Amino acid sequence: MQQLSLALELPDSKPVNPQWFQNLLSVLEVRQEPAWTDNFGKSLRQRLRQWGIAPVKTLSLFSGGGGLDIAFHDAGFEIVKMVELEAKYVQTLQKNAQLGKWLEGSEPICMDIRNYVPAPDLKVDFVIGGPPCQTFSAAGRRAAGVAGTTDSRGTLFQEYVRILKLLQPKGFLFENVYGITGANKGEAWQEIQEAFKEVGYSIYFRILDAADYGVPQHRERLFIVGVKQGKYLFPYPTHGFDSLAQQPYYSAAQAVEGSDTSDIEAGLGGRFGHLLDDIPPGLNYSFYTKEMGYPSPIFSWRSKFSDFLYKADPDVPVRTIKAQGGQYTGPFSWENRRFFIPELKRLQTIPDAYEVVGNRQVAIEQIGNSVPPQLGRILALSILDQVMDVDLPFDLAYLPPDKQLGFRQRKRKLTKTYLQKAQAAIIELSKQGKVKGLDASIYEEKREFVRFLSIDDFSWIEEPVANSVKIHLSCELDSSSWIIKANTNSNWDEPDKFSIDVYPSCGYDDWVLCTNSVKLCAKQLNTHVFTSLWKAFEEKLNEATGKADLVQLSGYYQYNARISGIMNFYCEEKIDLFWRVVQCVTRCIATSAQLKVKEFAEYWGVNEEDVVFYLQSLRAIGYEVRSHNTNPQIPLGEYLIPYAFPTLNPKSVQLRKVL
């Protein structure tokens, strides 16, 4: 792209050379090489001292592992105290506050902010920090809306405001996920803005992408800067398409080059670990979906979080590093392995010399929760310049208030690129014979076998464990039908007590089984047998197609279900109403939507006072049933049954929650 060569006249600022960031690097004598951000921080701190700029006394709240503290410390702020609740994170702060360490002179305080009262003699000019963001995060939105300030963690900003009111600093910086702006239909965001204004601050806010500021990671976060006097403009991006000099992004491969890889990490392992190898860099589990063109889909579209089996592309910044995640939570290296901790630090621009204390998971939590220091440094310099009125010996460029950044639009256009990558990879894998359709070996003569169903965690296993039920199974699978039978004994001469016919809901276009129907037959009207039939179907589905589970066959619950079941009874005795409820659920009646008790009663034809009992009974046979207790985003009095079949298993998050 052609570089701009003329100086720009921006509102409320003097003319700025488009090469302002390159000039800053020149002043600091920093070259953009691997780990250049470490040198940027060191040199910046040294030069500010040499220029006689007095440190700005600063209080850090919700300090975590210290990302913002590193940034502001390097940019001439003196972090006098760091308040953090988690003792395991405070150990990192204490280690790095020692003599000769990165945050030398800072004082970590392990305390709940609700109990923190600044000493009467504490005088600070600035406050930094961002409260825990889980209630505003993408995970919260995916669960069922956003809890926002209805969750106790979402009201921690009020403690931030309380401390601002007590200390009355010149300004503050507040960081959080951008989901905060949409929480509670925007009401939480209005509440937060008003709270800051009520204690005397004019606020300025923007959603920024860390990659635009020299971080090898796309990470969108909301930043609020509050000032007692004057105005504030956010700095121009230093890198990427919106930078004035069109400086290329700092790529993931450049960032990790030369980092410490002595602590060798094994491959992923587990049920899905092998799938990582064939995923093209930059893509995730969606590579194995119909929408990406995979001929024998393993997953359904949007049935997993976007970081599930996400493999980083070495030529561009990685996607957001998550603080929490499971075995298959990326980013993973393009070398088909987990990133080493030193590599993750580089991708977050945490200095190599900064010690992150704790085991791998604790370290990842601190890294993933941090504000990338390089982004923080640029923001800190802009605050030093505008809020603290420090005469810096170099120019900064500021975004006009109405200037729109383009990272969102560019992200929306990536789907086409991902599709092209996927199709090219599928062609290559097909040439190598790695892409296969339905496994024909699944078709077999009638076969009998035994499995055990754990009553405690719904595990489906070949050997008995404590509190498990022995289930006898019979399977006849061919291209015309799958017939799976279950019994608590081996007497197959008994008549069926019920059956479930499973069909595609929208025709056979999405039906991957290459058979006309699936019939699940039970020899007893028994809840364990019912659950076992679905478990056996899931097992055979995985063997035949590689699909991870029944959810991948049906699709994520927020879309129309692609399968439904018709349950028929053959018992002479009267059928209990609970089984009539189960019959409704298998037909997708009152599933996939948040409903009130009255609505469930109407759909199922039962009394309102019995609905909660039926919901608890469904939960007891393996159905995932959500409520306000399991997901605070769901209003009190409403419940959600995501799927028409039991989905609970030992790894289910919902298994550990109480309805």
CB contact at 8 A, 96 and 82 = no
107, with CB counted inside 10 A (0-12, 13-18, 19+), is middle
- Cβ-in-10-Å burial (0-12, 13-18, 19+) of 27 comes to middle
Phi, psi (deg, nearest 5) at residue 359: -70, 180
In order, the DSSP letters of 155-212 are: GTHHHHHHHHHHH--SEEEEEE-GGGGGGGGGHHHHHHHHHHHHTT-EEEEEEEEGGG
How far is 493 from 510, CA to CA, in rounded Å? 35
Both ends of the chain: CA-CA distance in Å? 56
Separation of alpha carbons 71 and 375, rounded Å: 8
Rounded-to-integer distance, Cα 338 and Cα 315, Å: 18
In the DSSP assignment, the letter for residue 492 is T
Provide the 3-class DSSP secondary structure of residue 226. Answer: strand
Residues 110, 133, 584, 588: which is the catalytic one?
Answer: 133
Quick one: residue 105, left, alpha or beta (phi over 0 = left, psi -120 to 50 = alpha)? Answer: left
List the 77-84 sheet strands across, edge first. Answer: 107-110, 77-84, 56-61, 126-129, 171-176, 220-227, 202-209
* Cα gap 204→186, rounded to integer Å: 17
Q: Residue 372 has which token pair?
A: 């990338």
Q: Give the span between the Cα atoms of 187 and 210, in whole angstroms.
A: 27
Query: If you search the block for the tokens 């850090």, which residue do you land on?
Result: 60
Residue 533, strand partner residues? none
Q: Which residue has 């199974």 as its token pair?
A: 473
State how far the Cα of 358 lies from the Cα of 88, in Å rounded to an integer. 7
* DSSP string for 272-320: TGGGGGGSPTT--GGGGSGGGT-SS--S-TT-S-TTBT-B--TTS-B-P
How many Å separate Cα 429 from the centre of its chain? Answer: 29
User: Which residues lie across from 46 on neighbouring strands?
Assistant: none
Distance from C-alpha of 600 to C-alpha of 597, rounded to nearest angstrom: 5
Cis peptide before 495 (omega within 30 of 0): no
Interior/surface letters 292-327, b for 16+ CB within 10 angstroms, e for the rest: bebebbbbbebbbbebbbbbbbbebbbbbbbbebee
Is 584 assigned a catalytic role?
Answer: no
- How are beta strands 518-522 and 482-487 bridged, if at all? parallel
| Euclidean distance between CA atoms 393 and 454, whole angstroms | 69
Q: Which residues contact 306 (CB under 8 A, 6 or more apart)?
A: 284, 319
For 493, other C-beta atoms within 10 Å of its C-beta total 5
Q: Which residues are catalytic?
A: 133
